[in-house]
Structures are given as structure tokens and as C-alpha cells.
Amino acid sequence: MRIRAAVLEEFGQPLNVTELELAEPRAGEVLVRLAACGVCHTDMYTASGADPSGYAPTVLGHEGAGYVERVGEGVRSVSPGDLVVTLFSPQCRECIHCRSSETNLCLAIREQQNLGYLPDGTARLSRDGEPIRHFMGCSTFAEYTVMPEIALAKVPSEAAPDRACLFACGLSTGLGAAINTAKVKPGSTCVVFGAGMVGLGAVAGCRLQGAERIVCVDLSPERLELARGQGATETWVADDHTVARVIEETGGFGADYTFEATGLVAVMRQAVEAARMGWGLCTIAGVAGRGETLDVIPRWLITGRRICGSSFGGVKGRDQVPELVQLYLDGKVDVDAFISHRIGLDDVNHGFELMEHQDGIRSVIEL
Ligand SMILES: NC(=O)c1ccc[n+]([C@@H]2O[C@H](COP(=O)([O-])OP(=O)(O)OC[C@H]3O[C@@H](n4cnc5c(N)ncnc54)[C@H](O)[C@@H]3O)[C@@H](O)[C@H]2O)c1
Ligand SMILES: [Zn+2]
Ligand SMILES: [Zn+2]
């Protein structure tokens, strides 16, 4: 079928919204008619050429939600008409990682996905007979996409796709960091560094877990205002004294849980140092630049602080994204507050500009 899609033709150039060919889903694959897609930093990062593992041409986009149109042979878990959220982090339910409760890093299709192909090593996207690669296994800046069944979470049909799509990446990452990875305990003190989509999600996750004190730290007063809306009990503008202030205001000990959601290694270090002596847990969700390292004084660890990383919030997508979407349907997460702009597919480059200027949290493409 012919579809319209936003193609990264060349690094550093605006995306080209054009017509492509999309082949029918093969065994284990699903054709999805996309309804909405968030514009995320990872899309822009890849478009810039800064990601050494990036490739072009490809159709970007990975925060999609839409409706199942047709299914390939053997697909049982979704059927036409189902509302689905795309998962760049799939869940096969069979690999050693999927069978473990310790991790969400499914091993089933990683290699081909990283190369830009569907699990059988081929692409469904093409132009004039030349294959076009899939991005993060999703390629959702498009009217339709073909994805593996194991990379689609079926979510409640009453969810609005423009909200549901935010659970495909940043929001689930933040919520999951607090709920799954850190497993924040009721009554605790939490400090969240960064108030973008991920940090705000972590604030909401800490609130849902029953944290008593939730401090959100960011450079932007506007974003800190949004953190209040998600449940931050205090908001601080970041400065050189943030760590000292956390220690001082927690009786000299530090916070029970800290979260890093900036991608900056200097802030990661602050998050480690602001964690409590004895049992403080620092959860790192930000993605640092290639080659950067985290500088930590070992004594901080010996004295009982722990550091862990969190990919997609430790969320096992097919099982847990529906649960997170249910939280929004139950009125427990204010998703509307994250949507700052609604744009059409043709305006995708404008979506990147808005993000560059930190104008709003998320632009959502409506298809
Ligand atoms: N782990 C995962 O699976 C996963 C998924 C999605 C995104 N990410 C990463 O999470 C990070 C955050 O993503 P986002 O979409 O929320 O980004 P974002 O750019 O919208 O938010 C980052 C925030 O950090 C703030 N900030 C900058 N310097 C700061 C400082 N010194 N102290 C405190 N705050 C500071 C910025 O003002 C901004 O509000 C990125 O690194 C992103 O790549 C990780
Ligand atoms: Zn993303
Ligand atoms: Zn798996």
C-alpha cells in the first residue's frame, strides 16, 4: 500500500514527508493505522546524525498509538480494531529476560531492530523498490506501520490515542522508574532531577507510590510549575548548591530516592550524591552522550548508596503499558498537561524546532 511518512533522507537535514510503499504484514507481524505520535528527543538526536548507530534513509518516530488494521499469520494477541501502543522495547514473553522479573530488556529481536529491520531481517518500507529501514522497530511518523506482534501493547479502547501515545516512551519511562525500578516506598523523600517528560513522569510515579516529600529540580521555572501539577511538593531551580541543600534539608543524610532525568553526567553525579547514606537509591534514566562517563567517589557507595539504571522504566511493555494507561483512565495521571502542541505530519520539522527551543513538553502529531 502507499503511505505518507516522514523520511530521514540525510543526517542534519529536515525530514521529508513523502509517499512510500508499505508491504503487507508477514507472519507474526501487524499492520497498524497510526492515529497519534509524540515527537521525542531520540528522533531529533538520530536526525541530527549525532547517534553513531543511526542510519538513513529511515522513517523516524517511536511514540505511536493507533489501531490494528490487519494481522499476519499466527498473530493471536491483537486483532483488527484494537487500540495499540508501539513498543521500541518489546516483550516476547519467552526469552530468558522476559521470563525473569528482574528486567524488561527482551532479547528476541534486538539485533535486527538495531539494524533497522523487522525480525526476519527485511524491511516492509520501500521506495521505487529500494528498502527503507524501520527506526527503533517502530517508524511511527507515518500513516501506517508494520510491527512485530511482540512490540505492540493492546491498551483499553476507551483511551484517547493522542494521550495513549505518550506511554510509548517518556511517560512510561518516568512512571516506571519510580514504580518498577526504584519501587518507591510510602512516606519516603524523593528528589527528581529534570522536569521533562521523563522527570515529570517520575514525579507522578513517586506520588502514586505514596512518597511524602517530592522535590523536583530543573532550570526552568515553567517546567517546575508542571512538576507541581504532577505532585511535586517542592520545586527548586537547579544551582551549584542543590546537593548541599538536599543533605541539609534531610537531617544531614540525603534523600531516600533520587532520579536523574536530564541525560547530563554532572547531574547524574548530583543525583548519586543527594541519595541518602545507608539506603539511598539513585535511579538514572537519562541517556548520556557517547563516551561520557559518570564520576562517582566510591565512598558514596560503601556508605550505603546504590545506583541503578532504568530503561523504559523497567516496564514490560505488553503487560504493563496497559496498566499505566489505566492509571490515566482512572484519573490518576494528568496526561493532558504533557501535550503542549498538536501538529500534522507535514509539520514534523516544526515539532523538532519546538523541542529545540524547549517550547512545551510534547508535540503530538495527529494522523
Ligand atoms: N531510559 C530510557 O528508557 C529513556 C527513555 C526516554 C528518554 N530518556 C532520556 O531521559 C532524559 C530526559 O528526557 P526528557 O524527554 O524528559 O528530556 P527533556 O530535555 O525534556 O528534559 C530534561 C530536563 O532537564 C533539565 N535540566 C537541564 N540541566 C539541568 C540541571 N543542571 N539540573 C536539573 N535539571 C536540568 C532541563 O531544563 C529539562 O527540563 C534524556 O536524556 C532522554 O534521552 C531515557
Ligand atoms: Zn522517545
Ligand atoms: Zn523476550
Q: List the CATH number of the domain containing 92.
A: 3.90.180.10
Catalytic positions are 40-42, 62-63, 92, 95, 98, 106, 110, 169, 362
Query: φ and ψ at 360, to 5 degrees?
Result: 85, 170
| The pLDDT of residue 290 | 84
| The pLDDT of residue 309 | 97
Query: Do 9 and 154 fall within a single domain?
Result: yes
Domain encompassing residue 200 = 171-312
Query: Do 161 and 175 fall within a single domain?
Result: no
Point out the ligand nearest to the CA of residue 40.
Answer: 2
* C-beta of 5 in contact with ligand 1 (< 6 A): no
Query: Do 153 and 119 fall within a single domain?
Result: yes
Q: Please tell me the pTM assigned to this model.
A: 0.97
* C-beta of 243 in contact with ligand 1 (< 6 A): no
- Of 93, 27, 35, 83, the C-alpha closest to 61 is 35
Query: Do 150 and 33 fall within a single domain?
Result: yes
| The pLDDT of residue 336 | 96
Query: Do 305 and 339 fall within a single domain?
Result: no
Contacts with 157 (C-beta within 8 Å, 6 or more apart), sequence order: 82, 83
In a domain, 129, yes or no: yes
63 CA to middle of ligand 2, Å?
A: 6
Query: Do 159 and 233 fall within a single domain?
Result: no
In a domain, 197, yes or no: yes
Query: Do 305 and 180 fall within a single domain?
Result: yes
- If one counts the domains in the chain, the total is 2
| The pLDDT of residue 88 | 97
Distance CA 31, CA 24 (A): 7
What does pLDDT average to in each consecutive run of 10 residues of the chain (367 residues)?
98 97 98 98 93 94 98 98 98 98 97 97 97 98 98 98 97 98 98 98 98 98 97 98 98 98 97 98 94 95 97 98 98 96 97 94 97
Query: Do 228 and 86 fall within a single domain?
Result: no
Query: Do 134 and 268 fall within a single domain?
Result: no
Query: Do 139 and 179 fall within a single domain?
Result: no
SS3 of residue 317 by DSSP: helix
